Structure 1
Amino acid sequence: MEFGRIHRLTFPDPLGFGKNPTRFSDPRRRVPDSRFGVLYLGSSLKVCFLETILRDDRDGVVGDVEVEEKELDDRLYAEVRVRDSLRLLDLTGDGPVRMGIPSDVLRGSQQALARKWSVAFYDHPAAIDGILYPSRLNGQTNLAIYDRSVLKLEPLRSHNLKRAPGMADLLDYFFVALI
């Protein structure tokens, strides 16, 4: 199974991750040594582009949305293969409702609640490898892989984002004007 990831040239490891505030990152600032990291992957270049570059910039914009060309020049698109099977918490479909997970964990633009839930997911005795969840932007599949399981992934290829296969079509499709 293959996924993709957009990352900055300044952090060239396609499987690298930080501990910055993101949807499922560890919010516990007082215990830095015990904090976990999260690597995000998308099921397509399209969802990776939406999640990483476009995000909410398209909201309320009629016509072209401007994106600095440097945003694309400074990034790579990596194709990543799942090498060993992953134990994922499936938050697609009806699963979150059945588990009592608030809709803002997956759909909210504010991410504090999702971070708190992620600590519970990470610390659960099942020791999952990560989370399978729908993009709040287009519903396509994303993965949030916890640091303890990144070794189950393998980078395949990397492309300059602007030259990634299909990127020009995405820019046209989403009415993106490079400036």
Structure 2
Amino acid sequence: MAAIKPPPGFENSFLDIETIPAGRRFGRIYASAFPDPLGHGKTPSRFSDPRRRDPGRRFAVVYLGDTLKVCFLEAVLRDRRDGLVGDLPIEEKEIYTRRYAEIETIASLRVIDLRADHAIRMGVPTDVTKSSRQTLARAWSLAFHQHRSMPDGIIYPSRLNGHTNLAIFDRAIPKLSAVRVVPLIGAPGLATVINDLRVSLVDNI
């Protein structure tokens, strides 16, 4: 089946918008080498800007998760368990070289809702969030970013465990604040997450 990209005139179409009030907290796992827990670049990712030949106009995206588990899945584990049974060994340095930040909304966010049947209502293909076809997701992200309603980002279910993720466009990052940052190894609940996902930490692989 061919990938269905945003149709002409999508910028004027109906969107399901969810408003996230100020004071909500989410999580983010990021590399300790970067000092800013809300730092962002324009490297390829699920909802990154696909316009490779126009760097001056490209937007960046910051990803957040509503649980430590989904943050760990999206930032560390990803698809590494595919086809692998039993415990999954991960080098300890992958944990010790990351931090976990609690990110709070300091102003309300208006995000496009791709959860439940909202995507269907808007005509957005389910592959945008439920498959690994990132080229398609990027095309739709660009269409969302350019929509006349000027959304702050996207709220969507993780394809890995269904928990809620946010992809926040860089224009809305001033609406976020890092309220607590700890080494990932010290994040409350990490041991439970590692046990649940059957991950074992090893010195070297």
Shorter-chain TM-score bucket reads over 0.9
Q: Structure 1 residue 56 and structure 2 residue 79: aligned? A: yes
In 1, Cα distance between the equivalents of 2:95 and 2:175? 28
Query: Which among 68, 80, 89 is matched to residue 91 of structure 2?
Result: 68
In 2, Cα distance between the equivalents of 1:172 and 1:86? 34
Aligned length: 179
Q: Which amino acid aligns with 2:117?
A: D
Q: Structure 1 residue 128 and structure 2 residue 151: aligned? A: yes
In 1, Cα distance between the equivalents of 2:73 and 2:64? 12
Per-residue CA deviations over 1:110-167 (Å, capped at 9, x if unaligned) read: 3000000000000011000000100000111100000000000010111111111111
Q: Which has the larger displacement, 127-136 or 101-110?
A: 101-110
Relative to total residues, which structure has the larger helix share, 1 or 2?
1
Over the aligned positions, Cα root-mean-square deviation in angstroms equals 0.7
In 2, Cα distance between the equivalents of 1:115 and 1:21? 9
Gaps of 5+ in 1: none
3-state secondary structure, aligned to 1:52 = helix
Following TM superposition, by how much is the alpha carbon of 1:74 offset from its aligned partner in structure 2, in angstroms?
0.6
1:153 matched residue in structure 2: 176
Identity rate of aligned residues, in percent?
Answer: 56
3-state secondary structure, aligned to 2:29 = strand
Q: Which amino acid aligns with 2:159?
A: R
In 1, Cα distance between the equivalents of 2:47 and 2:173? 15
2:16 matched residue in structure 1: none
Following TM superposition, by how much is the alpha carbon of 1:67 offset from its aligned partner in structure 2, in angstroms?
0.9
TM-score, scaled to structure 2: 0.86
2:100 matched residue in structure 1: 77
In 2, Cα distance between the equivalents of 1:102 and 1:176? 33
Moved over 2 A (4+): none
Following TM superposition, by how much is the alpha carbon of 1:59 offset from its aligned partner in structure 2, in angstroms?
1.6
Q: Structure 1 residue 23 and structure 2 residue 46: aligned? A: yes
Following TM superposition, by how much is the alpha carbon of 1:92 offset from its aligned partner in structure 2, in angstroms?
0.5
Q: Which amino acid aligns with 2:72?
A: F
Gaps of 5+ in 2: 1-23
In 1, Cα distance between the equivalents of 2:56 and 2:69? 35
2:141 matched residue in structure 1: 118
2:118 matched residue in structure 1: 95
1:174 matched residue in structure 2: 197
